[in-house]
Each structure stands twice: as structure tokens, then as C-alpha cells.
Structure 1
Amino acid sequence: MKLSQSLWLAGAAMGAALAIAPGEAVAQTTQQPQQFAQVTSVSQLSDVQPTDWWFSALQSLVERYGCIAGYPDGTYRGNRALTRGEFAAGLNACLDRINELIAAGLADKVSREDLATVQRLQEEFAAELAALSGRVDALEAKTAELEANPLGLNAVTSRLSVEVKTGIFAASDPIDSENNAILPYRIRLNFDTSFTGEDRFRIRLQARENSAFIGDPVGLGQGESSGAGSDVNDDVDIDDTFYEFPLFNGRVTGLFGLVSVEPSRLFILDNVLSGGISDLAEMDEHLTHNTLVDSTALGFSWEAIEDLLFISYGYGADDASESTLGNGLFAGESVHVVEVGFTPVDSLTLVAAYANYAAGQGDDPGPGTPINDIPGDAQAATFGVNWEITPRIVFQGYYTRGFFSEDAVDDTNDFIAGFAFSDYFIEGSNGGILVGSPDSLAVSQSFDLDGEDLDEFPIQIEAWYGFPVTNNITITPGVYYITNINNDGDDIIVGGVETTFRF
């Protein structure tokens, strides 16, 4: 059978990929998993039999040019009517295959009669082939656009994510207290929106209920539980609201936050130990950077030297919405934080950070309790390191020194050193071990059980191993041990199993 006759038969299958039939094309093309597979043998088409009058034509096209495709269900549907557009799609597929043979030096496999037929068909179907080429170009451009901008260009794209964290925990009785097993929880709903595909606007709603064990100077990482027997109610609050956006071709990231700005939004010292069960592991009560956590904040992060030097600055005000004396955006309790980060190699990050706290300009701010419960004016400096020893083992360490204007408050020396492990035993797992000191200022203020200053600040050792049960559920057993929680030398052990749901 001549090539022109064979092509009329090929069009019904090849053309189906782009123009099936009125009302049917949309349903097929929008279902990405359904692909029209190239046929390498006529026997792959379940509804084609050797007795069919078109059998030899299909067999010839498959063997000579390999330009036949079947429907996703493995059928050919040879009795269906054929449109000019469908025939153009089939013709285009065979033209591409013939060009490939010629380019590969196999022109002898294409007969002169077939080439003459192809030329005649090209002339007759020039309009349809041009339209088909335009459709393909448009689809390729749209695909490239979506790959480069998954959130979409010039469109507001929003996404909702939910995290529920709970578990059962228990503690030893360091001072003959009645510590009992507890079941705290934290629920977060994150609404993330992008206006350009490169920025992010987030609103987070949070509800939590948590109570620290008697004698525990740290508390669990599910909420602000620091305080002997303290409690966080289950009211729904706006916990995190910020807008981050690129500037100067992405070399600078700007940030404006109304509520509870996470330090990781600005600073490059990434907390790799955050998988632990305590507040210390989450750095909530420790690092200089975290002074912005409960603040209205303005800031930026600048990649001064590409992949080498980073400079970040953040300003936070604790009562920016208050118009009373001693409050407001600049007159109230506030903090300035500067971080310089250096990455000499991809696996090593070194940082130095400085924070300056102001208690406010009211008539008599006194010792007060400004940002992060620091009495009076204060300064703090942090030096930190993240070292990726292997792709699955990362070391993190940092030291913070606090200086306070109040004579009654001693300067503090706090530190953490630990290792985070990933993908050990179970793919997707996250484990770690750390040694550090809880916030010694918070300990001396809130957990002095004898009414005196602590002679020695506590030391904490913590270990955990989180493993995925499904893509959305993670279980994390963990335990931490804290020494010297009072001047009697008492210790406390807190342990439990935490479960996190994300969807």
C-alpha cells in the first residue's frame, strides 16, 4: 500500500493525541497520566487483526518508519472518522521520523516515491501543519513558564498547610512534686500566598495547650511552656504574619512582619537540631537571633558576595501598635540584630551576630520585662557554626554571651553543641543528640526553687529519633536530662513520644 494511503490510516491514531474528537479532546489532554505510546509492533494494538484491510498499511508504517501511536488503552480504533487536523498530526509525526532517518544517514531507507508523496502532502496540508506547529510551540512555552514559576506568573496563588503536633510526656519528680503524664498539643494553619511567584505572604493561625513540668527550666517545644506548672491556653491566635520579597535580582530579601517573625526568615544560621522535643532544641529561649520572635519586625538579608558572604539586619518592636508613652514602633521595647554569615565552602557556615535591646522610653521603664523577658537594656553576641560532615550528618554549635544593664542580673554564658542525623535506618528519618545550657537568665528568674540565685546554671542533654510512618505522619521518641535545676543539686528527666501530622 502506498505511503499516502498508509498515512490516512496513521492519522487516526497519531492525530488523536492532539485532536481526538469534539468534546473528547479536553478530557484526554487534561489527564496527564494518559500518554499515547509509540507502537513498535502492530500486535500491541488489541483491536487490530490480520484480517483487517488496513493491517498491512499499519504494519508497513511501524516497520519502516515507526510513526504509529495507540490510544492509552492499547487500541487503534480504525473505524473512527478522521478529520483533516488529525491527519495533519499523523503526517507531522511521520515527517519527523523521516527527518530523523535522513539526519542519521539512513536516507536509503526512504524511497523516492515516498519522498514525492510526502512533499505533495506537505503542500496540501501546509495550513494544518503550520497550525499544529504553532500549537506545539505555544504548549512548550507554557510548560517552560510553569516549570520556571510553579506558583504562576502575575497571579495570586495561595496554599493552605496544616500541622498538628501532640504526644504523651512524663517527668521525674525532682522535688517530690506530683508530676504526672501530660498530653499537650499545638495546631497550626499556614496560609501562604504569592503575588509574583518569588515572594511569600504568610498568615499563621495557632492554637496550643501546654504545661511545663514542675522543676523543668526549659519546657517542651510545642509552645511557650517555660515556667513551673505554667500553662498556655487553647485560644486561637494569629501567631505568624509576614511578607518576604526579593530585591536587586534576588541578592537581597526584604522582610516585613507584623507578628512573631521566625529568625530563619532573615538569618542564615539554620537550626538543624529543631527535631528535638524541648524548647532548647528549637532555640526558642536561647539564641540572640530569637529576640525577634515575638516582635513586629523589619529587616533584610543581603548576599554581599555570592555563595560566600551574607549580611542580615532585623529590627523588632514589642508593642509597635501601642500609642501610649514608652511604646510604639520606636519608643517602646525594641531590639536591633545584625548577623554576618560566611560560607567558605558549601558544607560550612560560620556566623557572628549581635543584638542590642532597649527597655523603652517611658517615664520609668525600670527593670521591666522587655523582649524575651530581659530586664532593662542589654546586649548579646552569638558565634555559631554549621558543618555538614557528610550529607547525612551535620554538626551545629553556638555560644551566646549576654550583658545586662541591671546590676542584679549577672551576665550569661549559654551554649549548644550537637549532631543531627538524617535517613538512618529509615528513609526520611531525623535524629539528633545535643548538649547545652538552658537560658540561664530564665532559669535564675523563673526556676529558682529556693528563692536564691542559682550557684550553677543547668546543663541539658537531649536525644531523639523521628521517623515517618507515612508521608504525612512522623513519630518522634525523645528524652532530655537537665542537671542543677536548683541549688540543692536536683536534676530532672523528661521523656515521651511526639506525633506530628502535616497535610
Structure 2
Amino acid sequence: MKLFHQLLVAPAALGLLAPVAANATELNINGVSDYAATGEQVTSITQFSDVYPTDWAYQALSNLIERYGCVAGYPNGTYRGNRAMTRFEAAALLNACLDRVTEVTDELKRLMKEFEKELAILKGRVDGLEARVGELEATQFSTTTKLSGKAEMTIGATSYGGDETDELYDEDGNYLGDTATTFSYRTTLNLNTSFTGKDLLYTRLRTGNFNENAFSGNGYTGKQTQIEASKSSANSLKVDKLWYQFPLGNDFQVFGGPLIENYYMLAATPGVYKHVLKQFKLGGYYGAYGASTSPGFGINWISNRNADYSDPKLKLSANYVSKNGMVSQTRDQFDSDGEKISSGGGFGTENGKGKFLSQIAYGTPSWQVSAAYAYSQKGMTVGGAGTPLGASTKGYSDANQFNLNAYYQPLDSGWIPSISVGWSLSSYNLPDGTADGTRSQTQGWLVGLNWQDAFMRGNRLGFAVGQPQFVTAIKGQGKNDTGYADDGNYAFELYYDFQVTDNITVTPALFYLSRPFGQRTGESGEYGGTGADTFSTLGGLVLTTFKF
């Protein structure tokens, strides 16, 4: 109402205060009297015969008439909008509008008096809400934290085949294979916090109950049958990832945190194949991209990062993580008898179990080629019992690792799939005194295909084949007395993502592993060999994913 008063009174007051532009002989006193004395109140602008929709003030005049009803015309039905206003006419218009304002004010006062108690209650509630909002704003750590989550349920089983499968029993007759059907879950909560709009504090919480089953990485065939959707935490919710990243200039991104893996700090993803088995991750998880959640930091650069998304870009990355980066002592500790009582560590030390990873990539969202190099200290190379690499290499040697990857994905979905290919090489720097027969080199390769909108919009079909990790050289004389490994472990997977709703996906999957123990197939001993010349694993599962 105050704004209306200002708009209404200002021109009228100027008219009353302005010098009289016309002399007495020019002033039509009778016209003023007619204007001021007209008793018919105009209720619609269409009552004026000389006002047209094309007039520049048409809408403003219409609002004054229809909303406030304080505009009068001349008895002959004209408004005479192009005629200069006299002081008498301004006084008449101002008086009519002030009468209407007084009527509205009196009505408001009556309503306020009638609902005085209700208004007081509403005012109290609003004051209380303002206090609560103020308290919340004072105690929250960020106004831009977003929570997203995912619950994944897996039901499935594995079976084993090949020569002399009775070797799955130990000398006491206990069955060593894990072929029972299991039903497990993994739940993930992601907290994405930004303080400036360009930075990110990432916190991931996870829990799961896979434990010792075939899909956890801790079963009889170890990491070869581990699926990506597994987590073994005995139902305990844990902080799984924690890091902070921020831009440096226009094209750099800096990372640092106590719980991060190397590949999260890369500017380019090596492949676009969506996998079920973890060993198909990133175009070959056991090569340069193998990682462990550890303290670390990194930086990446993308040429013209903020330019058109579809333009080809050069991408460079370098990062470092240390598995023992939270350990304060730098060297192993021994007692008086020479027995080791504790392991050393430290960030950037020789006992840190560190990994330095660098990557160069070039491409667009539709295609890309990349190369990576990693130097991994002993204890950081991915391997261990239940993999073709074997535990001895994992624990006692550094490694130089290389990866070459490329992918293509069509812009439009159809029968042409996205194609991801990768090759990896790991060369182990075995220390003096390492026993003959220890693996000194491994390689890996894979081809992964994805069909988007397969058979139905929103669904996906996936197939991959490869040798994620196989031994290509050994120290000294090998099992065939040639110095070369007798390996040949192949892995296959086939799955179909059925999009039930936007937030629910059901994924049936099959996988087959030929010689999952690789070189150790046919050996009996601590590394999990079966004693048979051939050995294979067949697995099937149904994964149901709920996103929220």
C-alpha cells in the first residue's frame, strides 16, 4: 500500500505545486466542474471511448480502474488522456483515490481487530521457527552437503570343475570349496560437501556382510571371484573414503586425504566398461591401476577444462598413496633376539608401502586413449594367495607397472556396443636371495563390451573376456624347467542390467574362470593349488541395486 501511495501522490503533488501554465482565459472551469462532479464511477476501461489498447498507458490506467476504482471520466464517456492535467483535476483525482485508500485501511483495521488472537499465535509460531532455523544454521557444518546412497543385495553360488576335483578335500576329509548359495549385502552412503561451490569434501560410509563367501575376495579362489559389489565389515558401518579436492586455477584439480585410492585422483577414466568381477575394473585392476585405500595426495590437469565438453582434451595426472602413511615409526622394530616386533611405515619412506601413479590421456567423451605408469613398493602390489601372482611376489618386491587402454562408445545407443580394451605389464624387482620359481613378470589384457538400451530402453547388456593377470616370466627354473610360466588363466563374464525403475536395478550375471590359480594349478601347498592339471570355476548371481 505504501508503494501505491508514493506512485499515486507524487504526480498529483507535482501537479499541485507546479506553476500554472495556462492563464485564466485558457482554463476551462466548467470542464473541471464536470470532471469533479461526475457521479458515475468508471468500473472498466472499456467505458472510455477514446482509450485504446495501443495507448502506452493503457495497462496502467486499467489497473487503477479495476483494482482501486478511483478514476473518473467526463460525462460524455471520454477520458481525454492526451490532455494536460490542471491542478483542479489533479486534486479531484487525488481526493477520489485517497477515499478508496481510507476505505481499504478501515477494512484492514477491522479484520486485524477481529483476528487479533489468531495473528498473535501465528506471530509466536513464526518467531519460534526463526529461532530454530537460526540454531540449525549456527550448528551445521555446511549448507551444501548432499547425501546419496546405494544398497546392493547379492544372492549366488559357485561350483568347481576339472580333473580330480576330489582334491578340493584336505587330508582330513574337509571340503575346501565354497559352493554353498549365499545371500549378502553392501550399503554405501555418500556425503558430498562443497564450501565454495567448486571444491568437494567427499566422505563415504560403507558396511556389508560378505565375509568369507566366494564373492568377497576371501573365498577359496580368492580375488579371482571377488565382485565389485562386495564389502566385508561384519555389519559395522565404517568410514570407507575421505578426501578433499579443490581447483587450482582453471585447469588444475588438487586432491588430498587420509582415505583415498590412486585412481580417484585421475583426470581420465581408462575404460567405460561396467563390470561385475572386480578384476575387470579400470581395464585390468591388477596392473598399474591396482590400489589400496590409504593416505595420499595428487594433482591432475585437463587442457581447457571448462571448454565445450565434447572437444578433444589432453589430460595429465600424478598422485601418491602410502598404505603405511599413518604409521609414525619409519623402520621395523626388532627385539634383542632379532625377532621383528613391529613393522615400520611412514608417508614417503621405504617402508611406507607407497604407490606413485602417473597417467596421460587424450580424447573426448566418445573415444579416448591413455597410458599409465606406476611404481609400487613392496606390499602395495596387488596379488596374494588365491591369485595367479601368488603371495611371495606381493610381499617382497617392488614393481614397475604399465597400462595401455582405449575405449569407444557411440553417442547413440544401438547394436554397436561401447568397447573398452586394456593391456598391463608388471615387472617385479626381486631382491637378492629370492628363491627360484618366484614370479618376476605378469601381464594382463581384457576386452569389455556394453550395449546400452539392450532389448529395452534403460537396460544394459555386458560381456567381457580377458586374462586379468597371468605370469609371463619366473626367476630361475620354473615348473617346466624352462624359466617361462605355464599359465593360461582366462576369465569371462556376462550380465544384464534390468532397470525396474529409475532407482531399482536387477542384474543377473554369470562368470567362468579357467585355471584361476594360474601357474599354481596342479600344485599342492600353501598357495591354494588343487593338485589337478585342470581346474575351473563357474559362478552365478543376481545383484539387486537400490539407489536413493
Alignment TM class, shorter chain as reference: 0.5 to 0.7
- Measured after TM superposition, the shift of residue 157 of structure 1 is 0.7
Letter in 2 for 1:273: Y
User: Partner of 2:268 in structure 1?
Assistant: 268
**Is 1:309 matched up with 2:308?**
no
Cα deviation 1:83-142 (Å, max 9, x = unaligned): 99xx9xxxxxxxxxxxxxxxxxxxxxxx9967889xx99xx99xxxxxxxxxxxxxxxxx
Letter in 2 for 1:247: L
**Is 1:190 matched up with 2:190?**
yes
Alignment equivalent of 1:329, drawn from 334, 341, 347 = 347
Q: Gaps (5+ residues) in structure 1?
A: 1-7, 9-52, 70-78, 88-110, 126-153, 225-230, 361-366, 445-452
Cα deviation 1:367-395 (Å, max 9, x = unaligned): 9979x946411110000001124433321
**Is 1:492 matched up with 2:537?**
yes
User: Partner of 1:391 in structure 2?
Assistant: 412
- Preserved contact between residue 322 and residue 354 of structure 2 (Cα < 8 Å): yes
User: Partner of 1:173 in structure 2?
Assistant: 160
- Measured after TM superposition, the shift of residue 347 of structure 1 is 2.4
**Is 1:200 matched up with 2:187?**
no
What does residue range 330-409 of structure 1 map to in structure 2 within 5 Å? 330-331=348-349, 332-343=352-363, 347-359=366-378, 373=394, 375-392=396-413, 393-406=417-430, 407=434, 408-409=438-439
User: Partner of 1:320 in structure 2?
Assistant: 325
Check 1:457–1:297 CA distance in 2 against 1; reply closer, same or farther (3 A cut): farther
Distance 1:323 1:188 in 2: 31
- Measured after TM superposition, the shift of residue 492 of structure 1 is 1.3
User: Partner of 1:298 in structure 2?
Assistant: 297
Distance 2:390 2:441 in 1: 17
Distance 1:420 1:114 in 2: 72
Cα deviation 1:301-350 (Å, max 9, x = unaligned): 1124664311100111001110122311111111111101122x552211
Distance 1:368 1:322 in 2: 26
RMSD after superposition = 4.4
Check 1:62–1:403 CA distance in 2 against 1; reply closer, same or farther (3 A cut): farther
Instruction: Point out the more displaced range, 285-294 or 425-434.
Output: 285-294
Instruction: Point out the more displaced range, 180-189 or 259-268.
Output: 259-268
Distance 1:490 1:214 in 2: 13
Distance 2:238 2:52 in 1: 65
Alignment equivalent of 1:435, drawn from 465, 470, 474 = 465
User: Partner of 1:257 in structure 2?
Assistant: 257
- Preserved contact between residue 218 and residue 438 of structure 1 (Cα < 8 Å): no
- Preserved contact between residue 416 and residue 436 of structure 1 (Cα < 8 Å): yes
With the length of structure 2 as denominator, give the TM-score of the two structures. Answer: 0.57
- Preserved contact between residue 301 and residue 312 of structure 1 (Cα < 8 Å): yes
Helix, strand or coil: the match of 1:168? strand
User: Partner of 2:440 in structure 1?
Assistant: 410
- Measured after TM superposition, the shift of residue 54 of structure 1 is 5.3
Letter in 2 for 1:492: T
Distance 2:247 2:493 in 1: 38
Q: Gaps (5+ residues) in structure 2?
A: 5-42, 60-64, 72-77, 95-140, 167-176, 306-311, 332-343, 380-388, 475-483, 523-532
With the length of structure 1 as denominator, give the TM-score of the two structures. Answer: 0.62
- Preserved contact between residue 269 and residue 349 of structure 1 (Cα < 8 Å): no
Identity of aligned residues (%): 21
**Is 1:246 matched up with 2:277?**
no
- Measured after TM superposition, the shift of residue 500 of structure 1 is 0.7
- Preserved contact between residue 287 and residue 382 of structure 1 (Cα < 8 Å): no
Letter in 1 for 2:237: V
Distance 2:265 2:500 in 1: 29
Cα deviation 1:51-86 (Å, max 9, x = unaligned): xx75967xx999989x999xxxxxxxxx997699xx
User: Partner of 1:467 in structure 2?
Assistant: 498
Helix, strand or coil: the match of 1:184? strand
